[in-house]
Amino acid sequence: MNILIKNVDVIISGSEQNIIRNGNIGIQGDTILFVNAGGNTPPGFNPDKVIDGKNRLAMPGLVNAHTHSSMTLLRNFADDLALEEWLFNRIIPLEAKLGPEDIYWGTMLAIAEMIKSGTTCFADMYLHMDEVARAVLESGIRANISKGPLVSNLRGKPGISVDSEGCMEYFKTWNNQGNGRIKTCVEIHSVYLYDEMSLREAAELAKKLNAGIHIHVLETEAERNNSIRMYGMNPAEACLEFGIFDVPVIAAHCVHLSDSDMEILKSRNVNAVHNPGSNLKLGSGIARVPDMLDRGINVCLGTDGAASNNNLNMFEEMHLAALLHKGVQCNPTLMNAKQVLKMATANGASALGFGDDTGYIDEGMKADIILLDIDKPHLCPVNNPISAVVYSAQGSDVDTVIINGEVVMENRKLLTIDEEKVKYKVKEIAARLSGLR
């Protein structure tokens, strides 16, 4: 389908303050054919659909670079608790009760929430990942989904089992499906759940598949101590040593990095995901994001799962990321709005393996575009559109979402997801889980 968005203000990217006023965006199939500052559309371009951009702001879709999407099912079940109580006594016992169908509906709810708050691409790591892939395929969203060959005793199973074949099968089945919307990678939950041999084996598998790895790195101080006890090395050093950093890596959290850990990440081009909402809520600490950015590390943004956030709203994560470090370091010039927007778009796209053709709005890029309704008191006067997006906007300001050239939401109505059915199913599951508490 050909789509013309006309008379619209456009934030091209966060990488430079490149704003087009009253421009046009032309989309042909899954690709942006042109972006111009108004005037005529190119000869021969016949749109099947015209979207009026009046009072709208177009910008690249947001990239949620680390989540466990179907943890939406556990939203607001347990809050304000110490980490161990929360994880081991509340969350894990509930997770043990989740079957594949539950994961499907939880993921669908997550995707509905993400699209409704402007996220067009996400990275997922959780259970029953075939169901996650199915939900991604059906909903039209873009995603990097991971499958782990390693199963530890975290969830009550003895020892560590390795399922390389299952992982290869997953990769074969899902990688590049959905017209390239799906990329798969290898999940290694963290270094602390396994042992050296299994970690090396998982890293080898990623190399063999030519795939990346999605892993939690240094979320807590305890993680550092455990790793040193287990391996004589902290998690960043262990990842380097065991070959995990030999492939493209999505490293979630990165809260407790030392200077030398940052040097390791930078030297291997590891992508760091900042999850401010979750890190604050769980009391994990505050990642040294300005230091990472100064070193040229590709830092992106994520929500983590809804059980520790408790939503999947990237506007809130941008807001937190922009405010937090200024306050902690008493320096209002840190983490400016452009940097934060870039973290939430181009940096995330790059980390998830979609950086070649998504993350900003330009000719030849895939059409992952969101439109914000800016005709609202809290966005009046707009003045600086990038500041407005990072400091003033809410997720609910997103009015229209286009992913890979397909309109998946228009006037806040989801077009590829039966929202009522999804909410109904999730409420059923939550009622069952409540009964089990």
Q: Which is nearer to a copy of itself, 197 or 380 (CB)?
A: 380
Give the residue with the Cβ less far from a copy of itself, 155 or 421: 421
Query: Which uninterrupted H or E stretch holds 34?
Result: strand 31-36
Which of 50/328 has CB closer to a copy of itself? Answer: 328
Residue 396 sits at φ, ψ, to 5 deg, of -70, -5
Q: Which 8-state DSSP code applies to residue 81?
A: -
| Residue 405 beta carbon to a copy of itself: minimum distance, rounded to whole angstroms | 24
Closest distance to a copy of itself from the beta carbon of 315 (Å): 9
Consult the annotation and say whether 165 binds a ligand: no
- Is 214 annotated in a binding site? The answer is no
CB of 135 to a copy of itself, least distance (A): 13
Instruction: Give the whole-angstrom CA distance, residue 80 versus residue 245.
Output: 34
Q: Are residues 143 and 65 in contact, defined by beta-carbon separation less than 8 angstroms?
A: no
Least distance CB 280 / a copy of itself (angstroms): 3
Q: Is 274 annotated as a binding residue?
A: no
Query: Shortest Cβ distance from residue 310 to a copy of itself (Å)?
Result: 4
Neighbour-count burial for 395-430, b at 16+ CB within 10 Å, e otherwise = bebbbbbbbbbbbbbeeeebebbebeebeebbeebb
Q: Annotation-wise, does 84 bind a ligand?
A: no
Unique residue bearing structure tokens 């393996």: 353
Is 66 within any annotated ligand binding site? yes
Closer residue to a copy of itself (CB): 306 or 371: 306
* Rg, C-alpha atoms of the chain: 21
Task: Label the pairing between strands 213-217 and 150-151.
Answer: unpaired
Contacts of 226 (CB under 8 A, 6+ apart): 192
Residue closer to a copy of itself by CB (options 254, 429) is: 429
The least distance separating a copy of itself from the CB of residue 128, rounded to whole angstroms, comes to 19
Closest by CA to 303, choosing from 338, 268, 275, is 275
* Closest CB to a copy of itself among residues 247, 388: 388
CA angle 30, 399, 16 (to 5 degrees): 65
Residue ranges for the known binding site are 66, 68, 95, 189, 216, 219, 304
Residues marked as binding for Zn(2+)? 66, 68, 216, 304
Task: Provide the annotated binding site for substrate.
Answer: 95, 189, 219, 304
